[in-house]
Amino acid sequence: MTKAYVHGYDQRESIRLQDQAITLVDLLHSDTTYPVGSRVLEAGCGVGAQTVTLARNSPGASITAVDISEKSVTEAKQRVSAAGLTNVHFQQGDIFHLPFGPDSFDHVFACFVLEHLTEPRVALQMLKGCLRPGGTITVIEGDHGSAYFHPDSDAAHTAIHCQVELQSRAGGNAMIGRALYPLLVSAGYDAVRVSPRMVYVDSSKPDLVDGFTRKTFTAMIEGVRQSAIEAGLADPVVFDKGIKDLYRTTEGDGTFCYTFFKAVGNR
Amino acid sequence: MTKAYVHGYDQRESIRLQDQAITLVDLLHSDTTYPVGSRVLEAGCGVGAQTVTLARNSPGASITAVDISEKSVTEAKQRVSAAGLTNVHFQQGDIFHLPFGPDSFDHVFACFVLEHLTEPRVALQMLKGCLRPGGTITVIEGDHGSAYFHPDSDAAHTAIHCQVELQSRAGGNAMIGRALYPLLVSAGYDAVRVSPRMVYVDSSKPDLVDGFTRKTFTAMIEGVRQSAIEAGLADPVVFDKGIKDLYRTTEGDGTFCYTFFKAVGNR
């Protein structure tokens, strides 16, 4: 598992992930509920932004949440505990070397994880190894190539491309959403079904303008400014114009579109 | 109303529009039904691909379908008649010089029309002039900038850009979908609400692979080959590779995404 995350684990990122989870919670998670007594593995729980929702939507399920970062596990534990949830067990662990035998789980859940991995197909195969026959995997990923907006802006696309390129150089894939179907199929899952979750934002939706366009997406792109410039991926003037143009889409006549992909497959 | 349509009116285009209507009918139209007795204007009915659905979904409504092309009106009339529908009255007419007074219609419907107009906002204002107070307008448009796919391909994006640029040179806007919200607001409509209709295609959906990716979208881009090359917008080798790469997305491990936008506003 590559440790060179693009997103990083600083405070601002933590807030951003939390904002993201609050704003997009229904869109991404409302149709994921597991039966009472089911054993669920959350692979790559990070700081627990999704774990809280997962545990809340399946109060009778027993959730094991794993992340490679001890620090993230600690933060996730605090977050879940603060939310008053008691059905999550945390454990530090690497997706590529999980300490679970076959048939350990009824369901696996992985959100915003595969995008960071050099070998997402292998990870999916590893996770399949922990599932009981007939168990399911649910994968949620974004796709930065799905971002478009009004007014359109070449500079904004350049800035977005910097993030995509940096994540690619770190071994990940920021445009993995569109590829979930072939990935799950090639990893051996059956009955794979993918549903896109498009976020469409215009000024009639002020919560999304602020919570998604501004504080989630644009903040994330803005966060790679230094790395992008140091890597020679963009002229600072162009990058800064790109960010300005992304914020421009939050004005009264602007619109912003982005799509997440949710895939479910059976072992 | 600009007469320089990019799509043209040849036989193949007519079949393509028909294929498109059949494949996307539910996604785009199922939530548009007008009450018994309501007076509906379809502005820019073209060859009647959408008129059939409109008339079928609102059998008690009285529909007036207008197009600037006499030839298209004749074809639309035949198509609607062949479908056994009797609630449509056809009339040749220009959106910018409509022969209807104020309060002539309860509802206006326009699908794949604004994308061809140099002044879509003015067209929307003209249509507003025919509506009764409290009447609604429904607008459906695509957005070629919303197309992305797996495997990704620069050549395919170049080929798509040729279509966008040709349509722009003809006075239209092939990326108008994302701009419907500000367009309707600036034309003076109230309570404007936009809902994106994303078409997501993978090989578990063979009807969409064939009906949308292959016969609707890629066929349309392929259709501008000669014009794009003559205009010097793309090297023939690159363009042909782009088309090949678009067809590549229809293979077992390919995916294709495109988004239509549906906007409704009140007078």
Find where tokens 């070629």 sit: B144
Report which secondary-structure segment, H or E, holds A41.
strand A39-43
* Residue A194 in tokens: 């993918």
String of DSSP letters for A46-78? TTSHHHHHHHHH-TTSEEEEEES-HHHHHHHHH
On whether the CB atoms of residues A249 and A150 are closer than 8 A, the answer is yes
CA atoms of B212 and B24, how far apart (whole Å): 8
B251 near A CB under 8 A? no
C-alpha to C-alpha distances, A110 to A2, A187, A201, A266, B82, nearest whole angstrom: 16, 15, 26, 14, 52
Confidence band of A23 (pLDDT split at 50, 70, 90): low
Mean pLDDT (whole number) for A70-99: 97
Taking the CA of residue B92 as centre, how many other CA atoms within 13 Å lie in the half-sphere pointing to its CB?
A: 8
User: Given an 8 Å threshold on Cβ–Cβ distance, is B198 in contact with A259?
Assistant: yes
3-state secondary structure (DSSP) of residue A212: helix
User: Is residue A39 packed enough to be buried (19+ CB in 10 Å), middle (13-18) or exposed (0-12)?
Assistant: buried
B205 near A CB under 8 A? no
Closest to A63 measured CA to CA, from A46, A40, A86: A40
Q: What angle do CA A175, A178, A180 make, to 5 degrees?
A: 105
Q: How far is A178 from chain B (nearest CA, A)?
A: 6
- Asked which of A105-114, A170-179, B9-18, B80-89 is least confident by mean pLDDT, the reply is B9-18
Nearest to A202 among B181, B186, B204 (CB): B181
pLDDT digits (tens, 9 = 90+) for B115-162: 999 999 999 999 999 999 999 999 999 999 999 999 999 999 999 999
Q: Beta partners for B65?
A: B42, B90
For residue A181, is pLDDT > 70? yes
For residue B18, is pLDDT > 70? no
A196 near B CB under 8 A? yes
Provide the terminal-to-terminal Cα distance of chain B, rounded to the nearest Å: 22
Q: What's the pLDDT score for residue A104?
A: 97
Using a CB-CB cut-off of 8 Å, the residues of chain A touching B204 are 181, 192-193
pLDDT digits (tens, 9 = 90+) for B39-68: 999 999 999 999 999 999 999 999 999 999
B141 near A CB under 8 A? no
Instruction: Give φ, ψ of A130 to 5 degrees.
Output: -90, -10
CA atoms of A56 and B159, how far apart (whole Å): 47
Task: Tell me which chain A residue has its CA closest to the CA of residue B197.
Answer: A198
pLDDT digits (tens, 9 = 90+) for B112-123: 999 999 999 999
ipTM metric: 0.91
User: Given an 8 Å threshold on Cβ–Cβ distance, is B204 in contact with A195?
Assistant: no
Q: How far is B54 from chain A (nearest CA, A)?
A: 26
The percent of residues in chain A predicted with pLDDT above 90, rounded, is: 89
- Asked which of A163-167, A241-245, B14-18 is least confident by mean pLDDT, the reply is B14-18
Angle between helices B70-82 and B49-57 (to 10 degrees): 40
B31 near A CB under 8 A? no
Q: What angle do CA B29, B27, B36 make, to 5 degrees?
A: 20
Q: What's the pLDDT score for residue B16?
A: 56
The set of residues, in sequence order, having a beta carbon less than 8 Å from that of B51 and lying 6+ positions away, is: B42, B45, B63, B65, B76, B79, B80, B88
The percent of residues in chain B predicted with pLDDT above 70, rounded, is: 91
C-alpha to C-alpha distances, B267 to A150, A178, A203, B25, B95, nearest whole angstrom: 24, 39, 19, 26, 17
Q: How far is A193 from chain B (nearest CA, A)?
A: 8
Nearest to A253 among B182, B193, B202 (CB): B182
pLDDT digits (tens, 9 = 90+) for A117-135: 999 999 999 999 999 999 9
Q: What's the pLDDT score for residue B27?
A: 87
For residue B6, is pLDDT > 60? no
Nearest to B255 among A150, A178, A195 (CB): A178
Using a CB-CB cut-off of 8 Å, the residues of chain B touching A175 are 152
Using a CB-CB cut-off of 8 Å, the residues of chain B touching A254 are 182
Using a CB-CB cut-off of 8 Å, the residues of chain B touching A203 are 181
User: Given an 8 Å threshold on Cβ–Cβ distance, is A178 in contact with B254?
Assistant: no
C-alpha to C-alpha distances, B246 to A184, B154, B237, B257, B262, nearest whole angstrom: 22, 11, 14, 11, 25
User: Given an 8 Å threshold on Cβ–Cβ distance, is A152 in contact with B175?
Assistant: yes
Q: What's the pLDDT score for residue B20?
A: 55
Q: How far is B30 from chain A (nearest CA, A)?
A: 19
CA atoms of A37 and B157, how far apart (whole Å): 48
Confidence band of A5 (pLDDT split at 50, 70, 90): very low
Nearest to B179 among A150, A186, A194 (CB): A150
Q: How far is A74 from chain B (nearest CA, A)?
A: 37
For residue A220, is pLDDT > 70? yes
CA atoms of A209 and A255, how far apart (whole Å): 9
pLDDT digits (tens, 9 = 90+) for B206-233: 989 999 999 999 999 999 999 999 999 9
CB contacts < 8 A, A to B, total: 76
Using a CB-CB cut-off of 8 Å, the residues of chain B touching A141 are none
Instruction: Give φ, ψ of B210 to 5 degrees.
Output: -80, -50
Q: How far is A117 from chain B (nearest CA, A)?
A: 18
Q: How far is B210 from chain A (nearest CA, A)?
A: 18
On whether the CB atoms of residues B156 and B149 are closer than 8 A, the answer is yes
Amino acid found at B132: R
Over chain A, what is the mean pLDDT? 93
pTM, full prediction: 0.92
